[in-house]
Structure 1
Amino acid sequence: MYLFYTILAALSSFFVLKWMKRRRFCTDVKRLDGKTVLITGGNSGVGKETAVALALRGARVIIACRDEDRARKAIREIKARSHNMNVIFMELDLANMRSIREFCKSYLQREKRLDILINNAGVPSILNWTDDNFSMCFGVNHLGHFLLTNLLLPRLKECAPSRVITLTCSSYKYQKLDFQDLNYNLFPFLTYCRSKLANIYFTQELAHIMEGKGVTAYAVHPGYVQSNWTCHYSFLYQMFMKVITFMFFIPCEAGAQTVVYCTVADEVTAHNGGYFSDCRPAKLKPFAKDAGVAKKLWEASERLVKLA
């Protein structure tokens, strides 16, 4: 009898978890015909599913990433699933400031519109360095997108009302920023948490700076998704995490729902600079709502990427 109840409990837990994996849906049916969307890291995971969803709504979708072969393969899939042929690739390496500047110069020359910028690309908890000697997490997850967004702001303002959506993570709550060591690169998970907190402060200050200029900003926690982030780790760790992610993480399609929601829903504009999860505004820890820290990080980031 004990074995029976154990099996019943295990099966019940399994099906509850599977149900939870499918509970995130954007119900807004707004079309995006005539709009241009730029998605960093749109060749895999949540980024690719976001690209499919927005291409289905008629948007021109630009996939920005560094691996052209993977991008071309992803674009073929996106076109096949969305029946939208207006999906293109542009090369961008967020770990290299020169690449970002060259990308933005090329974009502003080639593309007349930018209605939605989705800062989706990111690296997990790894200890490594960018080409400009920033810690990989802080350099890619925050500084790379910070520079990219700032250099593309002229086009975003021209196409107002426009939106900037930056993906973050609820793990931001486990760390605070240390302005004596923003380039912190000691413990992988804590380094990642700081970069995700930086994404939230960046969104808040961007919303403040762009207030009244037609550009709004939103930070999105997509949930813990079954993406390919484990590719940076050993084979055994990847196998272990595949089991864990299958049981407890949500599919990438579900993870993309809140991103899509912040892209199309009219009601999100009432929460400019806000943090979203599960297709609705979510609460932040008090320390993550400090406008003074957000401003200080913005100014420090300007110096680091040589915008100031």
Structure 2
Amino acid sequence: MFKGVGVWAIWTQFFPPSGSAIFTEKTTPSQAGKVFIVTGGSSGIGFELSKILYGAGAKVYILTRTKFNAEEAIKSIQESFKDMDRAGLGTLEFIHMDLEDLASVQSAAKEFASKESRLDVLFNNAGVASMRGKTKQGLEYHYGINSVGHFLLEKLLKPILASTAKSAPPSSVRVVWPASILVEMLAPNGGVPVDTLDTPSDDINENYSASKAGNWFVASEFSKRSGKQTGVVSIAGNPGSYLSNVWRSTPWYLYYPYIPLLRKPIYGAYTYLWMGLSEDITLDDAIAGRYATCDGRWHPGQRKDLLLALKGKGEGGTGQAAAYFDWCESKIALFSEP
């Protein structure tokens, strides 16, 4: 057992059943007419996700902080389809957004809203790991970038998401939040230490894993609090462990032992596609706090303390998910208007 999670639950996330992915670059149906946002879409899983969606005819906005990297990624994606019929392909656009600065998140949301009146899926893919420091607003890096920045983005884009949901099939308009295998392996009791968020630990691994547990909590709370009114499904899960830029700041002694377990980023895109497109995911699943995992499956059974955190005290839980959501909301209070 790992902190109350069975060995199989860990094993199947590092080694998913062969061929289990439902949505791949070959099987994803046409997304023509749909609009997607992929944060951090210029590299890693976000790049592969953007590439598949572009090939399926979608309009994809890549929100990231470095214009050069985004433009190079767009060129690379377009070049890989140069021999295909252009009529079946989508479009790719860059919008600058630095998750380290909530003002930049606000500007990105405004720019998107000036260009589009539709948004089918927001993929909150970008993130950092094993970094020290604080964001422009003084938040610990992992909480600030992985959770609070994306929290603000979802809040600002909620009107467009809700408008899209009015004419879209039920439960098809979504916000996808990434968690991590480290949620069950390293996150503190209850997932997030809500009493010390303003004075966080110096343990960067704890802060990273807690921020990823927090992403799960935030997704569930968004669905609970506004899903039925807006029709927007916010869902979280572990896309898997992959060779990507998120490792660039990780100490070598943590990185190298993991190398044999890391997969190609495209497999993470398969998980995101399932979370974003599968008809098997409903608003009720999101409200219940169901958690997706590698290649597109439901997690076989999470830690009891994390499941209790998803429930309010009146439901027999600890209320930590709701408390984390409220903390995130307090941090974006000055940036709540698009």
Which TM bucket (shorter chain)?
A: 0.7 to 0.9
User: Is residue 2:118 matched to residue 1:94?
Assistant: no
Residue range with higher mean Cα deviation, 168-177 or 42-51: 168-177
1:202 pairs, out of 203, 213, 218, with 218
Check whether the contact 1:24–1:258 (CA below 8 A) recurs between aligned residues: no
What do residues 237-262 of structure 1 show as CA deviations (whole Å, max 9, x unaligned)?
39x94x65542211101121110111
Aligned-partner Cα distance in 2 for 1:19–1:284: 17
1:170 pairs, out of 171, 174, 181, with 181
Trace 1:65-76 onto structure 2 (pairs within 5 A). Answer: 65-76=64-75
Aligned-partner Cα distance in 1 for 2:67–2:247: 20
Report runs of 4+ in structure 1 exceeding 4 Å deviation. Answer: 18-24, 243-246
Q: Which residue identity is paired with 2:177? A: T
Post-superposition shift, 1:29?
A: 3.5
Aligned-partner Cα distance in 1 for 2:16–2:154: 34
- What's the TM-score, normalizing by structure 1? 0.86
Post-superposition shift, 1:140?
A: 0.2
What do residues 89-137 of structure 1 show as CA deviations (whole Å, max 9, x unaligned)?
0000011011111111221122121110000000011111111110111
Post-superposition shift, 1:19?
A: 8.2
Q: Which residue identity is paired with 2:320? A: V
| Map of 1:260 onto structure 2 | 273
Q: Percent identity?
A: 26
| Map of 2:245 onto structure 1 | 228
1:21/1:65 CA distance change after superposition, 3 Å = farther
Gaps of 5+ in 1: 1-17
1:211/1:186 CA distance change after superposition, 3 Å = same
2:291 pairs, out of 269, 275, 282, with 275
Trace 1:280-299 onto structure 2 (pairs within 5 A). Answer: 280-282=297-299, 283-289=301-307, 290-291=310-311, 292-299=319-326
Aligned-partner Cα distance in 1 for 2:125–2:328: 19
Check whether the contact 2:32–2:90 (CA below 8 A) recurs between aligned residues: no
Aligned-partner Cα distance in 1 for 2:244–2:18: 15
| Map of 1:302 onto structure 2 | 329
Aligned-partner Cα distance in 2 for 1:131–1:217: 26
Check whether the contact 1:164–1:216 (CA below 8 A) recurs between aligned residues: yes
Trace 1:33-72 onto structure 2 (pairs within 5 A). Answer: 33-72=32-71
Post-superposition shift, 1:23?
A: 4.6
What do residues 134-161 of structure 1 show as CA deviations (whole Å, max 9, x unaligned)?
0111100000000110011000000014
Residue range with higher mean Cα deviation, 99-108 or 40-49: 99-108
Give the secondary-structure state (helix, strand or coil) at the position aligned to 2:175: strand
What do residues 151-181 of structure 1 show as CA deviations (whole Å, max 9, x unaligned)?
1100000001410001110211222322221
Post-superposition shift, 1:214?
A: 1.4
| Map of 1:12 onto structure 2 | none
2:149 pairs, out of 144, 147, 161, with 144
Give the secondary-structure state (helix, strand or coil) at the position aligned to 1:154: helix
1:25 pairs, out of 6, 17, 21, with 21
Please report the RMSD computed on the Cα atoms of aligned residues, expressed in angstroms: 2.3
| Map of 2:80 onto structure 1 | 81
Check whether the contact 1:53–1:260 (CA below 8 A) recurs between aligned residues: no
1:19/1:190 CA distance change after superposition, 3 Å = closer
Post-superposition shift, 1:21?
A: 9.2
Alignment length, in residue pairs? 287
1:250/1:24 CA distance change after superposition, 3 Å = farther
Aligned-partner Cα distance in 2 for 1:93–1:274: 29
Gaps of 5+ in 2: 1-13, 312-318
Post-superposition shift, 1:80?
A: 2.5
Aligned-partner Cα distance in 2 for 1:54–1:274: 25
Post-superposition shift, 1:187?
A: 0.8
- What's the TM-score, normalizing by structure 2? 0.79
Check whether the contact 1:100–1:147 (CA below 8 A) recurs between aligned residues: yes
Q: Which residue identity is paired with 1:271? A: D
Check whether the contact 1:226–1:245 (CA below 8 A) recurs between aligned residues: no
Check whether the contact 2:119–2:160 (CA below 8 A) recurs between aligned residues: yes
